[in-house]
Amino acid sequence: MITQKTKYALKALMVLADEKAGEASALRIEDIAARSGAPKRFLEHILLDLKRAGLIGSRRGRKGGYELIKEPRLVSLAEVLRLIDGPMAPLPCLSRRAYQRCEDCKDETACRVRAVFGGFYATYLLMIESLTVADLQQDSGALGAMALPEAAAGE
């Protein structure tokens, strides 16, 4: 499950991507907050994280504000998730970037919990690594085709 902070980051990136598509100027944090529905006080920290990661830039002055400096199709949702929430793996022994051996595990190759979650996680990674901010900009009907059945969606 993604955090509210990640949702705000994704919404802010969508606003900046939409603005970039129109080739307009940078947006002030107040404008991003209003358009994305994210509280300004949370957005300030999120935008700084996105800026440090090189996804967005800022300009000073009368026409200043934040702008997307990477193409939306080059901003992976997985990159944003890792940046804001940290490792995505359901188990520390499955993480690519923050690997840790599970304390209670004697043999990773024979661990059935790791095997089941490893299969799920590999599928999840293939999907999430392929999605970008540009996908979020598209009509939600295209992405809705990937949605879970109603019974699973309630989990």
Residues in the chain: 155
* pLDDT, tens digit, 9 for 90 and up, residues 42-99: 999 999 999 999 999 998 888 789 999 999 999 999 999 999 999 888 888 888 888 8
Coil vs helix vs strand at 122: helix
Q: Which one is predicted more confidently, 154 or 37?
A: 37
Decide if pLDDT at 21 tops 60. Answer: yes
Decide if pLDDT at 8 tops 60. Answer: yes
Asked if 134 and 72 count as a contact pair (C-beta separation under 8 A), the reply is: yes
* Domains defined for the chain, CATH in brackets: 4-68 (1.10.10.10)
CA distances (Å), 90 to each of 5, 114, 122, in order? 19, 9, 11
Model confidence at 150, pLDDT cuts 50, 70, 90, reads low
User: CA 32, CA 19: separation in Å to the nearest integer?
Assistant: 10
Query: What pLDDT was estimated at residue 47?
Result: 96
Decide if pLDDT at 17 tops 80. Answer: yes
Find the farthest-apart pair of alpha carbons in the chain and give their distance in angstroms, rounded: 61
